[in-house]
């Protein structure tokens, strides 16, 4: 089969022939119909030298994908050949303390498909049956690849009641774009988006933001309070991981507000912990991955009812063999793209 493979500790990857994976008893073999590119994939593609993010070489990456079941392990119950599935990339152990407390997404023994074990940027992929979400019909087939990132946004946004609230979405990469639409559908009074890319700000408005602000243009806090009022926003969904964005988000948040920490900073942050968080009664919540499978039920409902339409954020499609064009677009300074779908 063909796959997108990290073959050396240099930036980039290679499109080449590899063996079709053999499945274990608790796994499914799926014929991948689509994959989307996420931050984890970008990290592996762009990494090089001693910082190479692939666990071993060669390595097939890809954390966001969907496909059709073609082979079923003897212990993989509840699936039939031809089932259409989307993949939950977090492989949970099922027996640790977090797993037993309904927190499988932060399992103590967590492994991630496409980061720790081979992923879905390939014609076929082996996935544990317990990480497979079976679609009940074909209505989400065109967006099956984005369920994983979309679910993270659902988790980040809907962990608390947003009805009548003002929400600041900091960072309009695809998960921020999804978050804008989910917040709107969740009853938010106003959704304010922040991103330096003009292209992504326009997309954010299309997805439901009432206004989109360029944080690099200056006077950002004043522009935010002009929309939400001097008291500040009720919730910040911080999806950029930028140090200045975190600082700005905390300043924009009203006392007692909720700060969702989702974006991953590349360096340690310096915060006025006492002044910005403790004394202002901020509720700080780290969000990683999706609640398994609570977030999946929520997203199925949001998508099938039409309450959220993520499709305007899916801006480009390329075939696997043209993967370099997709990564170049995401890596470009202008970032004139939303979610990019790759197909075999
Ligand atoms: Zn566990």
The whole-angstrom separation of Cα 22 and Cα 63 is 19
Count of C-beta atoms within a 10 Å radius of residue 134: 14
State whether 192 and 304 are in the same domain. no
Q: Tell me, in angstroms, the distance from the centre of ligand 1 to residue 149's CA.
A: 21
pLDDT given at position 159:
87
Pick the last residue of a domain from 269, 286, 303.
286
The whole-angstrom separation of Cα 224 and Cα 302 is 28
CA distances from 308 to 67, 152, 302 (A): 22, 14, 6
Q: Tell me, in angstroms, the distance from the centre of ligand 1 to residue 105's CA.
A: 8
257 sits in which H/E element: strand 253-261
Residue with tokens 């243009």: 217
**Rounded to 5 degrees, what are φ and ψ at 110?**
-60, 135
Q: Are strands 190-194 and 211-213 parallel, antiparallel or unpaired?
A: parallel
Structure tokens belonging to residue 238: 């911080």
Task: Note whether residue 213 is domain-resident.
Answer: yes
* Domain enclosing residue 102, as ranges: 2-150+291-343
Number of domains in the chain: 2
The whole-angstrom separation of Cα 79 and Cα 86 is 13
Count of C-beta atoms within a 10 Å radius of residue 17: 8
CATH number of the domain where residue 33 is located: 3.90.180.10
Q: Tell me, in angstroms, the distance from the centre of ligand 1 to residue 89's CA.
A: 14
State whether 12 and 142 are in the same domain. yes
Q: Tell me, in angstroms, the distance from the centre of ligand 1 to residue 117's CA.
A: 16
Q: HSE (CB half, 13 Å, CA atoms) of 279? A: 6
Task: Note whether residue 215 is domain-resident.
Answer: yes
State whether 282 and 304 are in the same domain. no
In b/e form, how buried is each residue of 307-343, taking b as 16+ CB within 10 angstroms? ebebeebbbbebebeebeebbebbeeeebebbbbbbe
The whole-angstrom separation of Cα 275 and Cα 52 is 38
State whether 224 and 96 are in the same domain. no
Helix axes 147-158, 174-185, angle to 10 degrees: 50
Q: How many residues does the chain have?
A: 344
State whether 112 and 209 are in the same domain. no
Task: Note whether residue 279 is domain-resident.
Answer: yes
Q: Tell me, in angstroms, the distance from the centre of ligand 1 to residue 98's CA.
A: 6
List the chain pLDDT tens, one digit each, 344 residues. Answer: 999 999 999 999 999 999 999 999 999 999 999 999 999 999 999 999 999 999 999 999 999 999 999 999 999 999 999 999 999 999 999 999 999 999 999 999 999 999 999 999 999 999 999 999 999 999 999 999 999 999 999 999 998 899 999 999 999 999 999 999 999 999 999 999 999 999 999 999 999 999 999 999 989 999 999 999 999 999 999 999 999 999 999 999 999 999 999 999 989 999 999 999 999 999 999 999 999 999 999 999 999 999 999 999 999 999 999 999 999 999 999 889 999 999 99
Structure tokens belonging to residue 23: 């499945």
CATH number of the domain where residue 243 is located: 3.40.50.720
State whether 248 and 301 are in the same domain. no
Task: Note whether residue 155 is domain-resident.
Answer: no
Q: Tell me, in angstroms, the distance from the centre of ligand 1 to residue 77's CA.
A: 20
Q: Write down the H helix ranges in 136-290.
A: 147-158, 174-185, 198-207, 220-228, 243-252
Structure tokens belonging to residue 243: 């140090």
Q: Tell me, in angstroms, the distance from the centre of ligand 1 to residue 88's CA.
A: 15
Q: Tell me, in angstroms, the distance from the centre of ligand 1 to residue 108's CA.
A: 5
Task: Note whether residue 312 is domain-resident.
Answer: yes
State whether 270 and 325 are in the same domain. no
Q: Tell me, in angstroms, the distance from the centre of ligand 1 to residue 291's CA.
A: 13
State whether 167 and 279 are in the same domain. yes
Task: Note whether residue 95 is domain-resident.
Answer: yes
Q: Tell me, in angstroms, the distance from the centre of ligand 1 to residue 94's CA.
A: 5
The whole-angstrom separation of Cα 151 and Cα 131 is 14
The whole-angstrom separation of Cα 155 and Cα 291 is 7
DSSP letter at 117?
Answer: B
State whether 53 and 94 are in the same domain. yes
User: pTM for this one?
Assistant: 0.97
Contact between residue 1 and residue 125 where contact means Cβ atoms under 8 Å apart = no
State whether 39 and 88 are in the same domain. yes
State whether 85 and 18 are in the same domain. yes
Residues with CB under 5 A from ligand 1 (ion): 92-93, 96, 99, 107
Task: Note whether residue 112 is domain-resident.
Answer: yes
Q: Tell me, in angstroms, the distance from the centre of ligand 1 to residue 55's CA.
A: 20
Q: Tell me, in angstroms, the distance from the centre of ligand 1 to residue 92's CA.
A: 5
Contact between residue 125 and residue 145 where contact means Cβ atoms under 8 Å apart = no
Residue with tokens 């009641």: 161
State whether 122 and 233 are in the same domain. no
CA distances from 2 to 21, 37, 86, 120, 174 (A): 12, 17, 20, 11, 27
């Amino acid at each position: 089969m063909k796959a997108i493979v990290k073959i050396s500790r240099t930036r980039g990857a290679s499109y080449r022939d590899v063996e079709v994976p053999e499945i274990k008893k608790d796994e499914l073999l799926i014929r991948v119909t689509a994959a989307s590119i996420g931050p984890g994939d970008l990290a592996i593609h762009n990494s090089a030298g001693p910082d190479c993010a692939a666990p071993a070489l060669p390595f097939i990456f890809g954390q966001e994908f969907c496909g059709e079941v073609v082979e079923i392990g003897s212990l993989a119950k509840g699936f039939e050949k031809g089932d259409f599935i989307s993949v939950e990339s977090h492989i949970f152990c099922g027996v640790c303390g977090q797993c037993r407390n309904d927190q499988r997404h932060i399992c103590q023994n967590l492994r991630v498909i496409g980061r720790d074990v081979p992923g879905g940027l390939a014609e076929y992929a082996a996935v544990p049956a317990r990480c497979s979400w079976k679609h009940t019909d074909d209505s989400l087939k065109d967006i099956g690849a984005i369920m994983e990132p979309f679910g993270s946004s659902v988790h980040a946004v809907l962990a608390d009641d947003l009805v009548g609230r003002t929400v600041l979405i900091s960072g309009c990469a695809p998960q921020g774009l999804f978050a804008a639409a989910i917040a709107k559908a969740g009853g938010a009074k106003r959704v304010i988006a922040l991103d330096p890319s003009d292209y992504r700000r326009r997309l954010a408005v299309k997805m439901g933001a009432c206004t989109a602000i360029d944080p690099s243009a200056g006077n950002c806090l004043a522009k935010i309070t002009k929309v939400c009022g001097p008291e500040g926003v009720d919730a910040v969904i911080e999806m950029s991981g930028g140090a200045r964005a975190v600082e700005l988000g905390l300043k924009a948040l009203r006392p007692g507000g909720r700060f969702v920490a989702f974006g991953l900073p590349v360096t340690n942050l310096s915060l006025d912990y006492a002044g910005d968080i403790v004394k202002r009664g901020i509720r700080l919540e780290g969000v990683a991955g999706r609640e398994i499978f609570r977030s999946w039920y929520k997203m199925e409902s949001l998508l099938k009812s039409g309450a959220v339409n993520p499709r305007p954020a899916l801006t480009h499609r390329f075939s696997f063999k043209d993967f370099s064009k997709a990564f170049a677009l995401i890596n470009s300074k202008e970032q004139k793209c939303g979610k990019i779908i790759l197909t075999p």
